[in-house]
Structure 1
Amino acid sequence: MKHTLSVLVEDEAGVLSRISGLFARRGFNIESLAVGPAEQSGISRITMVVPGDDYVIEQLTKQLYKLINVLKVQDITEIPCVERELMLLKVNATSTNRSEVVELAQIFRARVVDVAEDSLTLEVVGDPGKMVAIVQVLQKFGLREIARTGKIALTRESGVNTELLKSLEAKV
Structure 2
Amino acid sequence: MASNKHTIVALVADRPGVLNRMASLFRRRGFNIDSIAVGHSETPHLSRMTIVAEGSDSQVEQIRKQVEKIIDVIRVQDISGLDIVSRELALIKVKASAETRSEIMQIVDIFRAKIVDVSTDSVMVEATGDEEKLSSLYNLLKPFGIKEMTRTGRIAMARGGQVARREEAAE
Paired with 1:118 and 1:9, the residues of 2 have a C-alpha distance of 43
Q: Give the AA of the match of 2:103.
A: E
Paired with 1:158 and 1:131, the residues of 2 have a C-alpha distance of 28
Q: Residue in 2 aligned with 1:9?
A: 12
Q: Does 1:50 align with 2:60?
A: no
Deviation of residue 158 (structure 1)?
A: 6.9
Deviation of residue 61 (structure 1)?
A: 0.6
RMSD of aligned residue pairs (Cα, Å) = 1.3
Deviation of residue 18 (structure 1)?
A: 0.8
Q: Residue in 1 aligned with 2:166?
A: none
Deviation of residue 15 (structure 1)?
A: 0.9
TM-score, structure 2 length as denominator?
A: 0.89
Paired with 1:14 and 1:85, the residues of 2 have a C-alpha distance of 25
Per-residue CA deviations over 1:66-106 (Å, capped at 9, x if unaligned) read 11111111111121111111110011111111100000000
Q: Residue in 1 aligned with 2:63?
A: 60
Q: Give the AA of the match of 1:67.
A: I
Q: Give the AA of the match of 1:48.
A: I
Q: Give the AA of the match of 2:110.
A: I
Q: Does 1:107 align with 2:107?
A: no
Per-residue CA deviations over 1:44-65 (Å, capped at 9, x if unaligned) read 1100100111011011011111
Deviation of residue 109 (structure 1)?
A: 0.9
* Closer/same/farther in 2, CA of residues 158 and 40 from structure 1, 3 Å limit: closer
Q: Residue in 1 aligned with 2:155?
A: 152
Matches within 5 A, 1:117-156: 117-156=120-159
Structure 2 gaps, min length 5: 163-171
| Count of aligned pairs between the two proteins | 159
**21, 32, 39: which one pairs with 2:24?**
21
Q: Residue in 2 aligned with 1:82?
A: 85
Paired with 1:10 and 1:108, the residues of 2 have a C-alpha distance of 36
Runs of 4+ displaced beyond 6 Å: none
Paired with 2:121 and 2:161, the residues of 1 have a C-alpha distance of 45
Paired with 1:125 and 1:158, the residues of 2 have a C-alpha distance of 24
> Sequence identity, in percent?
47
Deviation of residue 120 (structure 1)?
A: 0.8
Paired with 2:31 and 2:85, the residues of 1 have a C-alpha distance of 25
Q: Give the AA of the match of 1:96.
A: E
Is the helix fraction higher in 1 or 2?
1
Paired with 1:97 and 1:36, the residues of 2 have a C-alpha distance of 37
Q: Does 1:97 align with 2:100?
A: yes
